[in-house]
Structure 1
Amino acid sequence: MIEQITKINSAINGVVWGIPMLVLIISTGIIMTVGMKFFQLVHFKEWMDTTFLAIFKKKDVRAHTAKHEKSISQFQALSTALAATIGVGNIAGVSSAIVVGGAGAVFWMWVSAFFGMMTNYSENVLGIYYRRKNSKGEWSGGAMYYLLDGLGSKKGCKSLGKFLAVLFSLFCMFASFGIGNMTQVHEITSSIVDAFRLPETVIGSITPQIIIGVLLALLAALVILGGIKAIGSVTEKIVPFMALIYIIGTVTTLIMNIGSVPAVFGAIFRGAFGLQAVAGAAVGTLIKNAITMGFKRGVFSNEAGLGSSVMVHSASNVKEPVVQGMWGIFEVFFDTIIVCTLTAFTVLNSGLIDLQTGEVLSESTGASLVSEAMALRFGSAAGIFVAVAVALFAFSTVLGWSFYGTKACEFLFGTKATIAYKVIFVICIVFGATMSFDLAWDIADTLNGLMAIPNLIGVLTLSGTVFAITKNYIGRKISKTDPNLTPMLSGLPEVQKEQARKMAEDGE
């Protein structure tokens, strides 16, 4: 059965991640970037002040909401979104991209991230603009809602919007078991087994993988069954800690190898444009592999274009769509430009990759390659460090994606069905611990691509709405050329009334 699944998935993956998908992903980012006049560059100070720097200046972005409210703080929303995006893609995914696509894959990850910032921004703006309250009084938003209510409101597009919304939700629910569950859990178990050199079996035929899988399932169940408030509470504590220890470790490695940085940059740019000392068709193959792996691992890491993180951003207590959009820009920036780059430099300046030819001088792959690279400077303790980092990154991703899948299930089958989904999700954690590495990655890649298709169609067709909301916000809040403009806070009449009432109560 596994062999058959592998064949079917490979066939679908070849289509989903072909040239048309790469064109769709990058062109969406380019269109949104140009349409908003390079917002991520022009308004760099604004979105940094509103997001990362606001954590230290303002209390509202990380303050917990009142007990009677069902939303979460902006900082909790970011933490949960980062929990889902900062995962094994930042460690194992980056090293795998370098092994297959060469150093040049890193450059195309940067390109993916630069334009992906505005794709993610647009998703968040639309998510807040078209979100609604569910039967429990919780905010529900995401691609399925802006496809249903945004695209569906356009003339002759009602059925198309509903169809794409259902399609996205199905792909998202299934993707949650791949990218957000089994792939992550597999990396946790593999890194722990390798780092601590655990035996093949513990008791009888029971393996360490099974024991780790059961423990992870129990821990996840305690949080997941508590809903978004519990998930947000846990991730706002895990994410800053896990990101800090990993950044310290990789930056230390970078400083210790500072002399090789120019050579690493040279290898990245040579690899990106096929300037290595090879001839003929091999050049084209190298460029194709670099671009393909750069985009695939870039999307796997930061999820820009998938329409996934918008579901948790939509649960935030924020009122302005553009504000949460800017958190989306920071999310991609931090995930790929910062964390993925540090991983790439850790591998490339280790000596395990020949920077001239691109030859891999190690038999390690995934997180093991990163571990080996760090071990050259820190000794055997590096394996334990990477194992802990992978475990924290991956476990937080499992928590974040459980929420995405829950929201997709809620859209398709209603809030009552989410309990069954959560139970199945937790059970799949055990299966993920024993799953094939290649098959886990391949399935995750396929589901990523399938999710992106309806979402990107929605973003492109609703780009005019995003441009109008952004222009409105810039006129009121940034340039202040039109401070008396009416805020564009929601595209749903019932939500508009509720927001107007709350803003009147708050004196805004």
Structure 2
Amino acid sequence: METLNNIVLTIQDYLSNYILIVALVGGGIWFSIRTGFIQVRGFTEGLRRTFGGLFSKKGEAGKDGMSSFQALATAIAAQVGTGNIAGAATAIAIGGPGAVFWMWVAAFLGMATIYCEAIMAQKYKKVGSDGIITGGPVYYIRAAFKGTFGRVLAAIFAVLLIFALGFMGNAVQSNSIASSFHTAFGIPQWITGVVVAVIALFIFTGGMKRIAKVTELMVPLMAALYIVGSLIIIIYNWRNIPLAFEQIIVGAFAPDAIAGGAIGATVSKAITKGVARGLFSNEAGMGSTPHAHAVAKVDHPVEQGFVAMTGVFIDTFIVLTMTALVIVTTQALPKSYEIVEGGYSAAALSQFAYSTLYGKGGEIFIAICMFFFASSTIIGWYFFGEANIKYLFGPKAVPVYSVLVCVCVVLGSLAQVDLVWNMADCFNSMMVVPNIIALFALSGMIKKTHDDYFKNFLPKHPELQRKKKK
């Protein structure tokens, strides 16, 4: 087991530090250029569609798909997870405050990538044998590559996603909830695991309609709770805000110039950890969130592309940045190294940062936020896995898949098994490869669909242009 774990770590290290950085950053730059930096030009349109959907009639999810906002809520439910709490803390602990800057760079480029993913997911979505709309990378991979190669590449992606997110990933999320509740309330981890599994099974069995209803209610509430709780700490430490931004910007290029540089951060670590954690937090390029965007009911694929970009912005520039600013403004990282030899890591560093103002309440706050974040991620990742189960085995396999996911949720709550954690990360990384290859192969179709919206669709719908001007 130890040998296997070391092999997995070696593969993951090579993937995350080399292949994925090049593939995802390169992809982000390429798609930004191909779309004329749509993340800038289409930013206000994305906000209008997102928050207009929040306060307007959302509609009901059904066999014909979800409303645009429900699809976004399901995508954000998967994006905003433990990575926004533990992932940000890990990046800062290893790469210093400068890692935050590179998270922002990754998110900016990722907005263009996820725009293209959403467009292709909409373009190639299908009606399954059960009459329900479905979609995702397996379908646009098949469109990009005909014949045996396309079938094999799509099957590889489907298997990787099912294990990375549906099984191992959800075990990781469950453990994060159980351990934080044990720290905050002393509740045995297995009890938390069983409760989470029962709630999850209830939601799973309700199908797309129940999943959409839960995520559209949960996501705004959990985001508001975390943002308000974080802003209180940031405002309390307002004198450190200018220093925090100085540490983030200067630390991105010269970590040694920042106080607390004794943690061993280098420019290389700041870049690799910042970019890697940023990309895995917002999931741009991974091929996960297109499953949600595929089922959105829109008039043109590009409309959901605008909404998908906003999801990355909310995940990284707002939620993840809240965690980072709390850690940096409270000076939690240097303090943690002074108080405890070796310092805190991951979620524990976040809990320490929040406890500087809230005391024991900081642990409780993180535990509650972790419950919402990780629970919503379990729902989102289950939904993504379900689409690939249907692709591989048909709708009849879904009930078995639902039970297996709940078993993983319970088992994951019991104890952290490093091999499972590392394999989940490794499979996440491997998912990117077939997804990015297909997106590059479909680059011409992405450009054609993008241009069609602005040259043909918008001129025929002047009411949309009036809304944009307003």
Structural RMSD (CA): 2.3
Alignment of 1:298-447 (within 5 A): 298-354=278-334, 362=340, 363-436=343-416, 438-447=418-427
Matched, 1:269 2:258: no
Is residue 117 of structure 2 the alignment partner of residue 123 of structure 1? Answer: yes
8 Å CA contact retained: 1:187, 1:394:
yes
Listed one character per residue, the Cα deviations across residues 119-160 of structure 1 (whole Å, up to 9, x for unaligned) are 111011000000110011111111100011x212xxxx5332
Q: Deviations over 1:151-200 (max 9, x none)?
A: 12xxxx533222211111111111114664011111101110111144xx
Q: How many Å apart are 1:477 and its aligned residue?
A: 5.2
Deviation, structure 1 residue 222: 0.9
8 Å contact from structure 1 (residues 270, 276) kept in 2: no
TM-score (norm 2): 0.92
The structural deviation recorded for 1:260 is 0.8
Distance 1:440 1:106 in 2: 27
Structure 1's 111 and 409: CA in aligned 2 closer, same or farther, altered over 3 A?
Answer: same
Deviations along 1:212-267, one digit per CA (max 9) or x if unpaired, are 11121111111112222111111111111111111100111111111111111111
Q: Aligned residue for 1:168?
A: 157
* Greater gyration radius: 1
Partner of 1:63: 59
1:136 matched to 2:125: no
What residue in structure 2 maps to residue 73 of structure 1?
67
Query: Which residue does the alignment assign to 2:468?
Result: none
Contact 1:179 1:448 survives alignment (8 Å): no
Shift of 1:11: 2.4
Find out whether 1:106 has 2:105 as its counterpart. no
The offset of 1:360, in angstroms, is: 7.3
Matches within 5 A, 1:275-290: 275-277=255-257, 286-290=266-270
- Evaluate the alpha carbon distance shift between residue 386 and residue 285 of structure 1 in structure 2; reply closer, same or farther with a 3 A threshold: closer
Counterpart of 2:43 in structure 1 is: 44
Q: Deviations over 1:451-472 (max 9, x none)?
A: 0000000111111111111111
- TM-score, normalised to structure 1, is 0.85
Matched, 1:475 2:455: yes
CA-to-aligned-CA distance 1:265-321 (integer Å, 9 cap, x gap): 11112221134249xxx9997122112211221122111011111112212222311
Residue 274 of structure 2 corresponds to 294
Q: Is the 8 A contact 2:255 2:266 kept in 1?
A: no
Q: Given residue 19 of structure 1, which amino acid in structure 2 is its aligned partner? A: Y
Shift of 1:443: 2.6
Distance 1:406 1:360, change over 3 A: farther
Taking a change above 3 Å as real, the CA distance of residues 15 and 236 of structure 1, as seen in their structure-2 partners, is same
* CA positional deviation for 1:438: 4.8
Provide the C-alpha distance between the structure 2 equivalents of 1:284 and 1:38, rounded to a whole number of angstroms.
35
Deviation, structure 1 residue 79? 1.1
Deviates more, 1:181-190 or 1:315-324: 315-324
AA in 1 matched with 2:202: L
Relative to its length, the structure with more helix (as a share) is: 2
Whole-Å separation in 2 of the counterparts to 1:361 and 1:286: 23
For 1:64, give the aligned amino acid: E
Q: Residue 214 of structure 2 corresponds to which residue in structure 1?
A: 234
Letter of the 1:389 counterpart? C
Alpha-carbon separation, structure 2, partners of 1:309 and 1:437: 27
Q: Provide Cα deviations, 1:360-418, integer angstroms capped at 9, x if missing partner.
A: 76533222221221111122212111100001110110011011111111111122122
Opposite residue 63 of structure 1, the aligned amino acid is G
Are residues 313 and 360 of structure 1, via their aligned partners in 2, closer, same or farther at CA, if it must alter by over 3 Å? Answer: farther
User: Which moved further from structure 2: 122-131 or 100-109?
Assistant: 100-109
| Runs of 4+ in structure 1 over 6 Å off | 282-285
Question: Unpaired runs of 5+ in structure 2?
Answer: 463-470
1:439 CA drift (Å): 4.4
Per-residue deviation, 1:82: 0.8
- 1:192 — aligned with what? 181
Aligned to 1:92: 86
Aligned-partner Cα distance in 2 for 1:283–1:96:
12
* Shift in CA distance, 376/140, structure 1 to aligned 2, threshold 3 Å: same
C-alpha separation in 1, matches of 2:419 and 2:228: 32
**Percent same amino acid among aligned pairs?**
37
Cα distance in structure 2, aligned partners of 1:438 and 1:254: 34
Structure 1 residues 231 and 50, CA gap change in structure 2 (3 angstroms): same
Tell me the secondary structure at the aligned position of residue 17 of structure 1. helix
Task: Output the CA distance in 2 between the equivalents of 1:5 and 1:434.
Answer: 22
User: Counterparts of 1:169 and 1:258 in 2: how far apart (Å)?
Assistant: 47
Q: 1:182, 1:435 within 8 Å by CA — same for their partners in 2?
A: no
Runs (5+) with no aligned partner, structure 1: 199-207, 486-508
Q: CA contact under 8 A between 2:138 and 2:158: conserved in structure 1?
A: yes
Q: Count residues with an aligned counterpart.
A: 457
> Are the structure 2 counterparts of residues 134 and 340 from structure 1 closer, same or farther at C-alpha, using a change threshold of 3 Å?
same
Letter in 2 for 1:46: E
Does structure 1 retain, via aligned residues, the 8 Å contact 2:164–2:425? no
- Residue 172 of structure 1 aligns with an amino acid whose one-letter code is L
**How far did 1:43 drift?**
2.5
Structure 1 window deviating more from structure 2 (435-444 vs 116-125): it is 435-444
| Displacement of 1:346 | 0.5
- Please give the alpha-carbon distance, in whole angstroms, between the structure 1 residues aligned to 2:73 and 2:43: 21
> 2:60 is aligned with what amino acid?
H
Instruction: Give 2:312's aligned amino acid.
Output: V
Distance, in Å, in 2 between the alignment partners of 1:197 and 1:350 is 26
